[in-house]
Amino acid sequence: MMSVQSAGLRRTERQVAGAQERVHAANGRTAELERLLVFTQTYEYVAQEARRRFGYMDPDERRYSMDGGTVHLDAYPFTVDDV
């Protein structure tokens, strides 16, 4: 009878340990998402997304592109500050 109880106790301890690991991982992911949320409320994030999604540039920024060996200076009518 004692060995059956011991086996049950060990199984329960393993389940608790597994649950604790999942909670620890979830807490880490929560902290990561909280940092991301704070970042999305900054000017740096807005500027980054304006460049990435819409091609906006800083007023002093120059962007060059290549087309068949010809270099072009890209100029956009909008800047990040217009966002």
Tens-digit pLDDT profile for residues 16-62: 999 999 999 999 999 999 999 999 999 999 989 998 898 888 777 77
The owner of tokens 């200076």 is 73
- Here the tokens at position 16 are 């608790």
Q: What pLDDT, on a 0 to 100 scale, did the predictor assign at position 55? A: 81
Q: What is the pLDDT of residue 81?
A: 61
Segment 73-79 shows an average pLDDT of 58
Number of structural domains (the chain) is 1
Per-residue model confidence (pLDDT) at position 60:
79
Q: Is the pLDDT of residue 14 over 90?
A: yes
pTM over 0.95: no
48: burial class by Cβ within 10 Å (0-12, 13-18, 19+)?
A: middle
Give 64's strand partners: 73
Query: 26: domain range?
Result: 2-82
